Structures are given as structure tokens and as C-alpha cells.
């Protein structure tokens, strides 16, 4: 009997724990997967940590764009830390049991931070929109107080909705199986385990996905349509090239994150398969945080210069 096996009585669930199957279907790759995920986690912590440090210590990077980038890097560290450490522990110990409370806590933080990422990407797009389309008023509009308010709004706006959604999912009776065929506690695999009518939960998932993902994506898309039209009117080819380089970095992250999230949460329950869900989840839980430091750093001369100055100070 697997840890956390449960029996259902009447109309309610007696589940005290779940079993995260994760990558147990790949028994010969457990050592490789542990090493791979461990290196990825270290890379994410180091890369995003360096962005936070250089945006704090380098005076050239004391601008709204880099303020939001530092927030984004902080978010990525928190976001990946909700799932990756648990994956590493499960692979290392082969103990896949997770308590009901731990599962609910993981899901809640994951959903809240996911909403924060969506809103923060919108804020970053708005910052670029003001910078390109209204440059003369940029310092006035994106003042320090406005930046703090926008960042705080991005971090906090999703909390009430996602806490409520977590409570709604965990109010469902789980009377079939307690084995979650996923590597963390996410909504689609948990709804699959619920017995009874889950149509209300599915409607809520769609509504929240549309609110946080689709609307956010459309706002970002609208911003960049106006930004690109402004860039195309620039007289200098060098100026156009530099502007496109800055914007394309943001758009790559946007497409990676929103593409995988939309497919995961807006597909009908009947179309969900464990393998596809895992693959898509890897994109928005691991791949995007991993590529963030590379996309924003390697394509940005100011960040590279600041990083070289920081490393030079450390070696002197």
C-alpha cells in the first residue's frame, strides 16, 4: 500500500496525504534527473540573484526598467522554490508522500506567484510602452512612488482570488485515488482525483485563467503593437535595432510563460493527459525562470557591463 492511501466514507474524503508520482515512471533516470534539476536550480538562484544584486549596486541600473527586472528575478526565485526543492527531495529519498496541508500550501503559493508573474509582465510592458511612446513624460509618469505601487499591486493582486481557488479545490471530496500523476500539486491533476461534480471548479479555473492569463497577455500584446509601431518610425537603423533587442527579450519570456499556462489551464478536463501536463508545466515552472537571466542579461549591454564591474570588484 502506498503512503497516504485512503478510504472514502460517505460523501467526504478521508485523504490525509497524497502521493506525487512525479517522474517515477523513469526509474533508470532518477540520478540523471536529480543532477539535472539540481544544476538548473543552482543556475536559477545564481543567475537571478546576480540580476538582483547588480540592479541594486550599480547606479546606471537605478531606473524603473531594472527595478521591475529585479522584482521579476526575485519572483522567479520564489516561484521555482515552490516546486523544485520538493522535486529534488522526492527524487533523492524516493519518498513521494505529501500531506494534505503541504499540498494545499504548495498549490496556493504556486498560484499566487503565477498570478504575480502575469501581472508583473504586464507592468514591465507598460513601463516599456511609456518609455517608447511617451519618452518626454517617462520620468514624471514612472516616478519612484508609481513604481512601488505597480510592483506592490502585481505582488498582491492575485492573493485573494488564488487563496479562494485553492480553498475551493481542497473542499472537493477525494474518494478515488490519492496518487497525483504530476511533480507538484497543481489544479488539473487534483481535479482529476476528485469525485462528484467538478464542473463549478472547472468553470472557476477557466475564469481565473482568462482573467489572469488571457487579459494580461492581451494587454501586453496591445502595448507591444504600439511600441513596435513607434520603433518602426525611428529614423536611425541603430536605434531601431537596439529598441527591438530590448523588446524582444521581454516578448520571449511572455510567449514562453503565457503559451504554456494558457494551454494547461484552458484545455477541457477530458483533454488533459499526465505526460502533456508535466511537459507544459516544466516550461512555466522551470524553463522560464532558467532562461530569464540569460534572456535579460546576455542581450543587454548595461547588465553585462554592470556584471563585469561587480566581478572585477570581487576579484580585486
Residue 176 clears pLDDT 70, i.e. is over it: no
Domain positions in the chain are: 17-315
Residue with cell 471548479: 201
Query: Quick one: pLDDT band at residue 14, thresholds 50, 70, 90?
Result: low
| CB-neighbour burial class of residue 178 (10 A; exposed 0-12, middle 13-18, buried 19+) | buried
Indicate the CATH number for domain 17-315. 1.20.1070.10
Q: Cα 313 from chain centroid? A: 33
Sheet holding 179-180: strands in order across? 97-99, 17-20, 179-180
pTM of the full structure? 0.86
Q: What does the pLDDT look like over 266-287, one tens digit per residue?
A: 766 556 566 777 877 887 888 8
Q: Among 111, 20, 33, 76, which residue's Cα sits nearest to residue 286?
A: 76
Q: Among 123, 200, 117, 139, which residue's Cα sits nearest to residue 165?
A: 200
Residue 46 φ/ψ, nearest 5 degrees? -70, -50
Query: Quick one: pLDDT band at residue 2, thresholds 50, 70, 90?
Result: very low
Amino acid at each position: 500500500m502506498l503512503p497516504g492511501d485512503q478510504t472514502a466514507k460517505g460523501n467526504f474524503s478521508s485523504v490525509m496525504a497524497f502521493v506525487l508520482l512525479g517522474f517515477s515512471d523513469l526509474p533508470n533516470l532518477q540520478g540523471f534527473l536529480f543532477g539535472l534539476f539540481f544544476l538548473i536550480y543552482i543556475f536559477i538562484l545564481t543567475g537571478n540573484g546576480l540580476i538582483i544584486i547588480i540592479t541594486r549596486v550599480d547606479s546606471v541600473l537605478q531606473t524603473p526598467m531594472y527595478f521591475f527586472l529585479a522584482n521579476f528575478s526575485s519572483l522567479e526565485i520564489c516561484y521555482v522554490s515552490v516546486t523544485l526543492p520538493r522535486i529534488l527531495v522526492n527524487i533523492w529519498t524516493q519518498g513521494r508522500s505529501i500531506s494534505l496541508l503541504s499540498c494545499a500550501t504548495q498549490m496556493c503559493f504556486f498560484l499566487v506567484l503565477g498570478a504575480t508573474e502575469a501581472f508583473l509582465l504586464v507592468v514591465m510592458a507598460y513601463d516599456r510602452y511609456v518609455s517608447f511612446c511617451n519618452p518626454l513624460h517617462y520620468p514624471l509618469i514612472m516616478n519612484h512612488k508609481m513604481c512601488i505601487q505597480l510592483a506592490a499591486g502585481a505582488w498582491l493582486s492575485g492573493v485573494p482570488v488564488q487563496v479562494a481557488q485553492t480553498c475551493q479545490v481542497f473542499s472537493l471530496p477525494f474518494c478515488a485515488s490519492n496518487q497525483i500523476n504530476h511533480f507538484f500539486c497543481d489544479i488539473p491533476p487534483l481535479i482529476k482525483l476528485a469525485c462528484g461534480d467538478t464542473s463549478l471548479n472547472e468553470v472557476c479555473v477557466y475564469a481565473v485563467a482568462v482573467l489572469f492569463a488571457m487579459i494580461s497577455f492581451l494587454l501586453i500584446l496591445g502595448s507591444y503593437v504600439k511600441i513596435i509601431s513607434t520603433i518602426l518610425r525611428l529614423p536611425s537603423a541603430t536605434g531601431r535595432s537596439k529598441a527591438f533587442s530590448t523588446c524582444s527579450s521581454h516578448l520571449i519570456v511572455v510567449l514562453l510563460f503565457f503559451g504554456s499556462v494558457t494551454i494547461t489551464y484552458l484545455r477541457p478536463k477530458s483533454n488533459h493527459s499526465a505526460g502533456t501536463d508535466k511537459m507544459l508545466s516544466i516550461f512555466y515552472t522551470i524553463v522560464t525562470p532558467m532562461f530569464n537571466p540569460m534572456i535579460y542579461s546576455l542581450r543587454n549591454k548595461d547588465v553585462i557591463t554592470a556584471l563585469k564591474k561587480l566581478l572585477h570588484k570581487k576579484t580585486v
